[in-house]
Amino acid sequence: MNISKIANLKFFFTNTKNLSRFLGLFTFILFFFGIYWGLYVAPSDYLQGESYRIMYLHVPAAWLSLQVYMFMAITGFVSLVWKVKIMEIISIQCAPIGAYFTLIALVTGMVWGKPTWGTYWVWDARLTSELILLFLYIGVIALYSAFSDKRQAVKITSLLAIVGLVNIPIIHYSVEWWNTLHQGPSVTKFEQPSMHISMLLPLLYMFLVFNVYFIAVLIKRVQLGIYNREKRSKWMEDYLSD
């Protein structure tokens, strides 16, 4: 199968319906298993006791907030350079999902901060820059919805997203560049991760679940995006009337 066919809006719309449904159900099951693993099976931390378990939401959400952003910028870049229509839609639909993940990371981080740092919020570099990431997402969404011509809008917002990539390394390395309250890298280190394997495995698993969830939601949203753009086109009317 060639790329241009997969990149075709109609092809995507008509062939992913069941896939997204299946993925939706699948994440649901995976998620419950993960919660069980993280909350009951994994051992409690010798320092933080039970409160650390929110890590199983916080860390994957935080990772995804960065990952989705990069995905959004890259697809945006592809749509600008190679004028692939489907990429335009994928790129812009990433923004709200990424914003949710960022929000989850922020909220879970705050909840986690209370028992460990004694406060919900401190103005340190990582926390602030994660907040800025949220604003970046919001900026992308705001810019997109300010345009009436949505194709134009995607082009412009992709540009904003791409330029915004510079913030990603700043968020990631902020803990190293500034000595902050926030945990340094304990998983994403090149040498041995400084976390016990019995805690690490459910974390990685949750990361996987979040990824599947992301893909499921993305496909759903992209379908909606395709529908909104193509609802007046002939193939869409034909397809829907069937």
Tokens of 30: 């995976």
CA–CA dist 160, 107 (Å, integer): 26
Residue number, 154 or 206, with CB nearest to another protein: 154
Lay out the site mask for ligand HEM across 140-179 (x = CB under 6 A, - = otherwise): -------------------------------xx-------
CA–CA dist 30, 213 (Å, integer): 9
Nearest residue to 122 (alpha-carbon basis) of 172, 182, 171: 182
The binder of 218, among ligand HEM, another protein, none, by C-beta within 5 to 8 A per type, is: none
C-alpha R_g of the chain = 20
64 lies in the binding site for ligand HEM (CB under 6 A) = no
Nearest residue to 98 (alpha-carbon basis) of 65, 131, 76: 65
Residue number, 71 or 144, with CB nearest to ligand HEM: 71
Q: Out of 68, 72, 105, 218, point to the residue binding ligand HEM (CB under 6 A).
A: 105
The binder of 149, among ligand HEM, another protein, none, by C-beta within 5 to 8 A per type, is: another protein
Q: Out of 98, 113, 164, 225, point to the residue binding ligand HEM (CB under 6 A).
A: 113
Binding site residues, another protein, CB under 8 A:
121-125, 128-129, 131-132, 135-136, 138-143, 145-149, 151-152, 155-156, 159-160, 163-164, 166-167, 170, 178, 232
Question: CB 237: neighbour CB atoms within 10 A?
Answer: 12
What residues are paired with 49 via a beta bridge?
Answer: 45
Cβ-based burial of 25 (10 A; exposed 0-12, middle 13-18, buried ≥19): exposed
Per CB under 6 A, residues contacting ligand HEM are: 55, 58-59, 62-63, 66, 105-106, 109-110, 112-113, 116-117, 126-127, 130, 171-172, 182-183, 185-188
